[in-house]
Structure 1
Amino acid sequence: MDTLTHALSGALLARATAPAISRPGELTPRTRMAAGFLAAAFPDSDIVLRVFGALPYLDLHRGVTHSIIMLPAWALVLAWLFSRFSRQCYSWRAIYGTAALGIAIHIAGDVFTAYGTMVLAPFSYHRFALPFTFIIDPYFTAIIVMGLAAAMLRRQGRYPAIIALVVLGGYVGFQGVLHSQVIKVGKAYAAAHRLEGTGTGIHAIPQPLSPFNWKIIVIHGDNYYEALVNLRHIQVLKPPDTANGISAIWGRIASGYQPPSMATWRHYGRFGEIESQDALAREAWSQEIFTRYRQFAMFPFLDRIESTGSGVCVWFLDLRFTLPSLPPSLGFGVCRDSAGDPWRLGQKAGAFGTDTISELLGMEGD
């Protein structure tokens, strides 16, 4: 979930849980919303890890700052800081509950995305995920914004905030129902193609633009079978004729998702689909320098092998972060200058999203 949506959800929860009448020493509704806003944004402060490189950040993001075990300590730190630097003389005790709620709703929001959240860090670095919501969901954000707007326009503002939270919960629940439907499509495909037994798994990952857009991934050993579906479409969508503009880009993305019965299934191999590439891909994949990426990637596959003179680069992508008609993100690999040289870590253009944005903007001028 994007940080702004997290922060707004913290403000909404703070307003919904505010007492009807503020007592002496308690936060006013507006101050409570401000504290909730800042507290809910706090877990993403782990962006500072970016100074150590993109891969360490990706591997450690949503770690200790997103931990329910560390939540009481973080809430205490934030409450003390708010108390220390706020214009009003509030005690940290008056702020602590709001800070804790803000952090908690941030953690909950991230759990419903496909990235995974280490909610038990530092005792466990397992990433928990209920992949119901795409990382940027305009409908999710709109529910929060409308709830906040209604709450600020009414004197008894907590009731619109409460209603908005209920609607938000219902929306996520609806996405959960869609997720189960997509899983059934994946199971049907696996059964029809005899992709069952040990080493087989069915996954559904939410996609952009619509809650009905999903990516299905069927795992069978080191092979992935992927389909992009829209549960509401009954006809195949065609990409727009125009090549320029944001609307054309959105149209190309939307046309990538087809009715389940008409979806195109694509095959990806973790170590490639060409037998001659298998040994080199496995060697590159097993390098110690690539450990962080192996831990991070959930559906890794060989993107390509590039030869440069006597050197070579072996590039991998994760199916979680590929979208139709857009440059792939979060791709990494290992390179060496010759067969006897050590491998070094490489970062693909478009990794970490920054270059992807510039490439996307460049598409508009083509």
Structure 2
Amino acid sequence: MDPLTHALSGALLARAAATDQQQRQATGSTGIRPLPVRLQVAAGFTAALFSDVDFALRMFDTLTYLNWHQGPTHSLVLLPVWAWLLARLLAWLSSLTDSDRFGWRQFYLPACLGLAIHIAGDLITSYGLMLFAPLSTERYALPLAFVIDPWFTLIILTGLVISWRYPCQKTGATAALFVLAGYLTFIFMLRTQALAIAENHADSLPHTRISALPQPLSPYHWTVIIEESERYHVALIDLDPGSTSSNEPENGWLLKKIAAAYRPVSNIHWRKLERFGNETERTEAIRTAWQHAAFEPFRRFARYPLLQRIDNSDEMLCYWFYDIRFKFPELPPSFQFGLCRADDTSNWQMVRHRGLFYID
């Protein structure tokens, strides 16, 4: 999920779990001042932002960031540690601005909630999380939502606005969480439908791996990938029952052209993509280059690698690859990396091609 949605989701969950006014008054009789709701919400907001602190890895190297993003800071194993550190920090910061001192234990629960909902938000995207780091670097994902989902954000924002309008009630925040659960159930059903379409197409194909990845602009948009050895069968699908689009428009706004690339179930177009290109006489050379040690960081990152092009000139030979997960209609692929060398006696070197977005 995008950072704003993460932060808002942390605030929403903290508000839904916050101690209400009557409980605060009862607790106050013990002599320990309970943590105000505004600080509980602020703690959830801050903690839900914290996990993406691994963006700092971007300063070292793009692939270092890509391979370790959503790693240890997104780990369930390390969540109690991060929550403890955040609770200590938030308790110290609150002491600078509030005459009453609050113990770090009072910040611990909202910090845990903010971290947990951040992990849940990233788990439902296609990137994958190292849920059990540092015990394991294996990534887990249940791809249901695109990284930017305006419906997801709107539901969260509506719940927060209602909670702000009625500060003594947490009904708005609680209701928004239930609506989110319903929305996730809806897109889970869409994913199941997309997978069924892929399984039906893959019936005659041996030894396949199937994925359905959420796409931008609509929860009905899915990319279905069937991996068959070194070949992919890829389809862009629009599961909206009312969709009638059959061809991409030649002209029009970019967003309309992107949306039109996703075809209704009645008119699915399957593309066959060879991992190492269609030039069979070069396949072995490309495969050898792909396996070179210099390209290991990109191999570790790419789940569905695909040869984009070959640049062959007097000065340089380059094999350029990208990951199908990060290629969307009408846009150049993100995270393009190439293996290049000047001549047969030169060493292969990995090169990054800057893409359209800042993260590239």
Does 1:306 find its partner at 2:311? yes
TM-score (norm 1): 0.92
Counterparts in 2 of 1:279 and 1:18: CA distance versus 1, 3 Å: same
Equivalences for 1:4-83 in 2 at 5 Å?
4-21=4-21, 22=24, 23-24=27-28, 25-83=33-91
Letter in 2 for 1:16: A
Q: SS in structure 2 opposite 1:41?
A: helix
Letter in 1 for 2:68: L
Stretch deviating more after TM superposition (302-311 or 224-233): 302-311
CA contact (8 A) 2:20 2:169 kept: no
Query: Residue 237 of structure 1: CA displacement?
Result: 4.6
Deviations 1:155-207 (Å, cap 9, x if unpaired)? 3331110110111111111111110100010011112xx213x3x11110000
CA distance in 2, matches of 1:238, 1:268: 20
Query: Residue 239 of structure 1: CA displacement?
Result: 4.3
Letter in 2 for 1:60: W
Query: Residue 337 of structure 1: CA displacement?
Result: 1.0
CA distance in 1, matches of 2:13, 2:205: 44
Does 1:235 find its partner at 2:247? no
Query: Residue 241 of structure 1: CA displacement?
Result: 6.1
Letter in 2 for 1:77: L
Query: Residue 355 of structure 1: CA displacement?
Result: 7.7
Give the gaps of 5 or more residues in structure 1: 357-366
CA distance in 2, matches of 1:56, 1:258: 36
2:126 aligned residue (110, 114, 120): 114
CA contact (8 A) 2:246 2:267 kept: no
Percent of pairs with identical residues: 42
2:226 aligned residue (218, 223, 227): 218
Letter in 2 for 1:54: T
Corresponding position of 1:324: 329
Letter in 1 for 2:358: T
TM-score (norm 2): 0.93
CA distance in 2, matches of 1:177, 1:355: 31
CA contact (8 A) 1:15 1:157 kept: no
Corresponding position of 1:206: 214
CA contact (8 A) 1:223 1:270 kept: yes
CA contact (8 A) 2:48 2:114 kept: yes
Deviations 1:214-252 (Å, cap 9, x if unpaired)? 000011111101000101144225545655xxxx11101
Stretch deviating more after TM superposition (16-25 or 89-98): 16-25
Letter in 1 for 2:146: F
CA contact (8 A) 2:309 2:320 kept: yes
CA distance in 2, matches of 1:13, 1:137: 18
Give the gaps of 5 or more residues in structure 2: none
Corresponding position of 2:112: 100
Corresponding position of 1:154: 166
CA contact (8 A) 1:300 1:316 kept: yes
**What value does the CA root-mean-square deviation take over the aligned residues?**
1.5
CA contact (8 A) 1:134 1:208 kept: yes
2:358 aligned residue (354, 358, 363): 354
CA contact (8 A) 1:112 1:130 kept: yes
Letter in 1 for 2:63: L
Query: Residue 276 of structure 1: CA displacement?
Result: 1.9
CA distance in 1, matches of 2:349, 2:38: 52
Runs of 4+ in 1 over 6 A off after TM superposition: none
CA distance in 2, matches of 1:355, 1:267: 29
CA distance in 2, matches of 1:257, 1:80: 48
Query: Residue 83 of structure 1: CA displacement?
Result: 0.7
